[in-house]
Chain A
């Protein structure tokens, strides 16, 4: 049944990348935020005997606050440079947990002894549901529309009255918060964490979910996470060729659907009332 926990956590991680991406910010450092959430919540439950829910929220909040701090310089940096900076941030965080606080966290030997308050599958999916509802409402709100505008053209967005500073930092912090919560859930489900779990590959995986699934609707990330969590399981018959097959799927998808599997048009035309022509008609 472990695949369902992995799926839930991957969906959260995909949403954590989607949130800043929807305002045009690519973060390659979300594994760092995930690590912060995981370590903070585990320290709270293990060393301070705090109960699970406040620990998860605290882990998410601290990750979110760090996200806001990282988000400020991110405002001035775009594209590939932002990707580089967030990537460096993720590595700094991983190294921090390798070398500091090791009396609390075990450092490179890993954090053992998490387990008084284990997470059940329902906990994970409860949070997934919560964030799906959140993004569902967000996507149909003015703020959701403003995020697309900012993604498309930040300068023009400002000139139609959008406070892009608030929006971008909010989206970045929100993504970090979600990654932090996912980290906390991860730590308390698997009952063991070590810094190496939160390396660059983890961050790249999350970004892949969003790029493959579709970048401009949160359903894209959800679909991407689902496909890329389940696909490796169903292709075990390929044995040694599994990795190569996986890579081929990614290349094929990028050729066939460069903006991801799901696009806003696809959702609009196929999943909404077909007889509804549009607003006020």
Chain B
């Protein structure tokens, strides 16, 4: 089991001034699973994403991917190790087309200083374009590839974010509330896509408030409350966990 351990958070804490947003959190992420990260508002879920991807430095603790301590790396190096993410509030590049969103993410796989300044038409263009096309087709974005992404409908923009993250070639994809603001049909659609991404060998860690989505999709769930992990386990396990119910609904008098 230890062999395919992708990511290990060891006693990670993060405080903002006097506020302890993440408190002594340890998580193990294994390859090939779909993980859920749930908890009430303000529990520190997005902060966990920000710590792993290097947006914030940890106050204490370490985050290991194999032998590498991510807390020492810059965000752009962390992506390089195979960790990509989306954002809770959509953050697309306002001046780019959908196609360009997928090409810019491929910076990594095509990295070399000399190659970087050559026109996109040189060198490994075919490879990169094939991969970009695969991603866009998978997410159903191929037809709108030449449209400016920032003017697309909300649901589609969520998909462009996922496409951009996928284009970096992640082993582990962090999704921050992927179904927020989507209607029922769009949500169903997205779940199908996420399953397809998972089938291609990408491990997923999903923050989500829609419990039906979480219970249907995830193999393993972590529950946070006030920055601490209060439970983890299979969906069936979590649904009957007293501490979880208490965190969400309050204590029975």
Residue-wise, chain B 166-178 has the 8 Å CB interface mask toward A (1 for contact) of 0110000000000
**Contact A141 B146, beta carbon cutoff 8 Å:** no
Closest residue of chain A to B109, judged by CB?
Answer: A161
A267 at the interface (CB under 8 A from B): no
Q: Which of B52-108 contact A (CB under 8 A)?
A: 53-55, 74-76, 79-80, 84-85, 87, 91-96, 99-100, 103-108
Q: Which of B123-152 contact A (CB under 8 A)?
A: 129, 132-133, 145-146, 148
Q: Which of A122-162 contact B (CB under 8 A)?
A: 137-138, 140-143, 145-146, 148-149, 151-153, 155-162
Contacts of B107 in A (CB 8 A): 142, 145-146, 160-162
Contacts of A151 in B (CB 8 A): 95
A273 at the interface (CB under 8 A from B): no
**A-side interface size class:** 20 to 34
Contacts of A158 in B (CB 8 A): 54, 74-76, 79
Closest residue of chain A to B145, judged by CB?
Answer: A278
**Contact A140 B120, beta carbon cutoff 8 Å:** yes
B1 at the interface (CB under 8 A from A): no
**Contact A161 B148, beta carbon cutoff 8 Å:** no
Contacts of B74 in A (CB 8 A): 158, 163, 165
**Contact A142 B104, beta carbon cutoff 8 Å:** yes
Distance of A280 Cα from B145 Cα, bound (Å): 11
Closest residue of chain B to A277, judged by CB?
Answer: B146
**Contact B117 A143, beta carbon cutoff 8 Å:** yes
B45 at the interface (CB under 8 A from A): no
B80 to chain A, nearest CB (A): 6
Distance of A216 Cα from B79 Cα, bound (Å): 27
Give the 6 A-B residue pairs with the shortest CB-CB distance, closest first.
Answer: A152-B93, A161-B79, A140-B119, A158-B75, A161-B108, A278-B146
B110 at the interface (CB under 8 A from A): yes
Contacts of A278 in B (CB 8 A): 99, 145-146
**Contact B117 A141, beta carbon cutoff 8 Å:** yes
B88 to chain A, nearest CB (A): 13
**Contact A156 B91, beta carbon cutoff 8 Å:** yes
Distance of A145 Cα from B132 Cα, bound (Å): 15
With contact pairs A158-B76, A161-B107 given, residues A137 and B100 touching in the complex (Cβ less than 8 Å): no
A233 at the interface (CB under 8 A from B): no
**Chain A residues at the B interface, C-beta cutoff of 8 Å:** 137-138, 140-143, 145-146, 148-149, 151-153, 155-165, 216, 264-265, 277-280
**Contact A148 B105, beta carbon cutoff 8 Å:** no
With A152-B96, A155-B91, A265-B148 already in contact, 11 other A-B pairs whose C-beta atoms are closer than 8 Å: A137-B117, A140-B120, A142-B116, A145-B104, A148-B93, A149-B96, A151-B95, A153-B94, A156-B87, A158-B74, A161-B105
**B-side interface size class:** 35 or more
Could you say which of B103, B118, B168 contacts A145, with CB atoms under 8 Å apart?
Answer: B103
B17 at the interface (CB under 8 A from A): no
Distance of A162 Cα from B105 Cα, bound (Å): 8
Could you say which of A142, A149, A159 contacts B53, with CB atoms under 8 Å apart?
Answer: A159
**Contact A156 B118, beta carbon cutoff 8 Å:** no
A165 to chain B, nearest CB (A): 8
**Contact A160 B91, beta carbon cutoff 8 Å:** no
Contacts of B92 in A (CB 8 A): 153
Distance of A277 Cα from B99 Cα, bound (Å): 12
**Contact B96 A148, beta carbon cutoff 8 Å:** yes
A186 to chain B, nearest CB (A): 28
**Contact B119 A141, beta carbon cutoff 8 Å:** yes
**Contact B119 A149, beta carbon cutoff 8 Å:** no
**Contact A137 B105, beta carbon cutoff 8 Å:** no
Contacts of B121 in A (CB 8 A): 140
Contacts of A146 in B (CB 8 A): 104, 107, 116
With contact pairs A137-B117, A142-B104, A142-B120 given, residues A161 and B93 touching in the complex (Cβ less than 8 Å): no
Contacts of A149 in B (CB 8 A): 93, 96, 104
Distance of A159 Cα from B75 Cα, bound (Å): 6
**Contact A141 B93, beta carbon cutoff 8 Å:** no
Q: Which of B197-232 contact A (CB under 8 A)?
A: none
Distance of A165 Cα from B59 Cα, bound (Å): 23
B42 at the interface (CB under 8 A from A): no
B115 at the interface (CB under 8 A from A): yes
30 residue pairs of the A-B complex, CB under 8 angstroms, read A137-B117, A137-B118, A140-B120, A141-B116, A141-B120, A142-B120, A143-B117, A145-B103, A148-B93, A148-B96, A148-B100, A149-B104, A152-B96, A153-B93, A155-B75, A155-B91, A157-B93, A157-B104, A158-B76, A158-B79, A159-B55, A159-B75, A159-B79, A159-B84, A159-B85, A160-B84, A160-B164, A162-B107, A278-B146, A279-B145
**Contact A216 B95, beta carbon cutoff 8 Å:** yes
Contacts of A142 in B (CB 8 A): 103-104, 106-107, 110, 115-116, 120
Could you say which of B79, B99, B167 contacts A279, with CB atoms under 8 Å apart?
Answer: B99
**Contact A152 B164, beta carbon cutoff 8 Å:** no
Distance of A277 Cα from B146 Cα, bound (Å): 8
